[in-house]
Structure 1
Amino acid sequence: MRERHRFWQRALRLLSLEIPREALSAFLDGEHSLHQEMWLRSLRKEKQQIDITIPLAEVPFVIIDMETTGFSPQQGDEILAMAAAKTLNGIVKERYFTLVCPEKAIPPHISALTGIQAKDVLHAPRLREALRSFLSFIHGGVMIGYHIGHDLSFLRHFLWKYYRTKWAAHFFDMQPMVEMILRCSCPTFDEALQYYEILCQKRHTADGDVEAMAKLWKVLLEELKQRNIETLRDLYAALSMR
C-alpha cells in the first residue's frame, strides 16, 4: 500500500512537469528515475524569461556543435559527437565533449568527413545517457553556434523521443551576426573563418569546430561593441532589422 502511494506521488509530480501520461512509465521505472525527475525540472526552468538588458559581456553564452550522420533526425540520422564551451565575455571558462555510440552503422562518407570510425564509438555512451550530461552542461546559458538550427533540430527531436519533453532555451545563430557586421553574404562557417583569419585545426569535429567558434565569437563581441550593440536587447533589435 505504501509503495502504491509513493508511486502515485511520483506520478503526480511528473505530471506537474507537463510530462504526457503516455510517457510516465519511462520515468517511474528504473533506478535513475529520481535523478531524471530533477533533471527534467531543471530543463523546465530554461523556459523562464531572461533579462534582456544584461550587457553581452555578462551573459553566459554556450557555444555548441554536433557531428551527425545526416541532416534529418526524423529520417533516422543520428548524433555521433557533441561539444560545448561555456564562455563569458568571449573567454572560454569550461569545455565539454563526448562521442556518442549510434544505433546504426556510421556511413563511410561521414567517417571520411568527421574522422569518427566505428572503433572510436564502441565504448562511447548511448545518446540517451550522453544527452543528460550535455544538457546539464549547457543549462543556464544562452546557446550560440554557426548554423545552430541544425544542432537544435537534433537536440529537440531526441529530447522529445527519449523524454517526451520540449525545451526552449534562448539561442543565437552566428551566421546572421556575421552577415550583419560584414554587410554581405557569408553562408558558410569556412567563409567566416577565412575572413577573420581564424585557423580551425580540427574542422568537422565537434570539439574542433567549437574551439574555432569560440575564437570567432570573441571577435564578434568586439565588433558588436564597436557598433554600440551592448545588451541582449540591442542584439535582438539589430538582428530583427536585417
Structure 2
Amino acid sequence: MKITLLSHEEYAVEDICITNLLGNRYCIFDFEGTGIIHQTEFITQIGALIVENNMNRSFNSLVKSPKPIPPAVEELTGITNDEMVHAPLFSEAYHRFIEFIGDRILVTQAGYEYDVPLLEKHCQLYRLPFIHNQIIDIKALFTNIHPEIDDVVSTDFLIQYYSLDTSDLKRHDALDDCMLIGQIFEKVMREYEDQSIADFRITEPLKVKRFVIPAMYLEEGMNIE
C-alpha cells in the first residue's frame, strides 16, 4: 500500500490488492486522540470490532497520552485528563490490540490520513513493530466505485448517503465509531457484490479527497503536512 499526499485537499492511493473481498475476515478499528493532526497528537483510545458468524467481539482500551487533552477535545470525546492518570501505556494497549486483531484485514474510515500515520508515529516513538495486516480505508473503497461523486467522503457524508440511523451510537467514542464504520462497510461491500466486483485492486493512483480540518483544531501558522 502506498499513500502519497498531493495537497491539503487530496491524496493518492495505489499498490493495493485485496482479493476475494466477500470471503475475507475483517476487523474494524478506530482511534481517538488528543487532536486530529497526527504529527502533533497522541492516541487516547483504541477501539476494534470483529463481526464473524453473526457474533460480535470487541476491544476497547484507553491509552495514556503524554500530552494533555485540550478541553474542547475532552468535551467532544468524553475522555478526560483524569482518566489518563490510570490509563494503560501505549505499549500495553497496543500488544493487546495486536492479539485481538490477529491476521484479519483491518477496516478504517479516514484511516489512511489519520489513524495509520498516527499509529506509525507511535510505533516509531515507542520502538514497536508496526502491524503487518492489510488495511482498507472505506473512503478509498467507496471512491473506487463512485468516481462521479465529488464530495469529501466523510463519515457524515456516508451516514447521509446510506440513510443510516446513528441515534443509538456515541460519536467520537472509538468503539461506537467502530460499530458505525461496520454499518457503512457492510453497505459498501453490498455495492461491490451488486456490481460483481470481487477484489479491491488499485494499481494506478486513486485520488481521494482529504477530510477538512475542523477550526477547533487549527492554530495560526500550524503545519499540517
**TM-score normalised by length of structure 1:** 0.68
1:208 Cα offset (Å): 1.3
1:59-70 counterparts in 2 under 5 A? 59-70=24-35
CA–CA separation in structure 1 for the residues paired with 2:141 and 2:18: 17
- What is the count of residue pairs matched by the alignment? 186
Residues 1:112 and 2:79 aligned together: no
Unaligned runs of 5+ in 2: 1-16, 208-225
1:22-61 counterparts in 2 under 5 A? 52-53=18-19, 55-61=20-26
Are the counterparts in 2 of residues 146 and 213 from structure 1 also a CA contact under 8 Å?
Answer: yes
Amino acid in structure 1 at the alignment position of 2:110:
H
Partner of 2:103, secondary structure, is: coil
1:144 Cα offset (Å): 1.2
Are the counterparts in 2 of residues 178 and 186 from structure 1 also a CA contact under 8 Å?
Answer: no
Amino acid in structure 1 at the alignment position of 2:182:
A
Out of 121, 134, 159, the position equivalent to 1:170 is 134
1:151-170 counterparts in 2 under 5 A? 151-170=115-134
The aligned residue for residue 235 of structure 1 is: 200
Are the counterparts in 2 of residues 69 and 106 from structure 1 also a CA contact under 8 Å?
Answer: yes
Question: 1 or 2 for the larger relative contact order (CA 8 Å, sep ≥6)?
Answer: 2
CA–CA separation in structure 2 for the residues paired with 1:118 and 1:166: 27
Residues 125-184 of structure 1 show CA distances to partners (whole Å, capped at 9, x for unaligned) of 121211111122123011111111211112111112223534442111101222334431
Partner of 1:109, secondary structure, is: helix
1:115-154 counterparts in 2 under 5 A? 115-149=78-112, 150-154=114-118
Are the counterparts in 2 of residues 142 and 171 from structure 1 also a CA contact under 8 Å?
Answer: yes
CA–CA separation in structure 2 for the residues paired with 1:121 and 1:88: 32
Q: How large is the RMSD of aligned CA atoms in angstroms?
A: 2.5
Out of 49, 71, 88, the position equivalent to 1:85 is 49
Q: Percent identity?
A: 25
1:61 Cα offset (Å): 1.3
* Structure with greater proportional helix content: 1
Unaligned runs of 5+ in 1: 1-50
Out of 138, 143, 154, the position equivalent to 1:179 is 143
* Structure with greater proportional strand content: 2
Amino acid in structure 2 at the alignment position of 1:210:
C
Amino acid in structure 1 at the alignment position of 2:196:
N
Out of 164, 183, 192, the position equivalent to 1:215 is 183
The aligned residue for residue 196 of structure 1 is: 162
**TM-score normalised by length of structure 2:** 0.73
Are the counterparts in 1 of residues 32 and 43 from structure 2 also a CA contact under 8 Å?
Answer: yes
1:120 Cα offset (Å): 3.1
Where does structure 1 differ by over 4 angstroms across 4 or more consecutive aligned residues?
Answer: 237-242
CA–CA separation in structure 1 for the residues paired with 2:22 and 2:52: 6
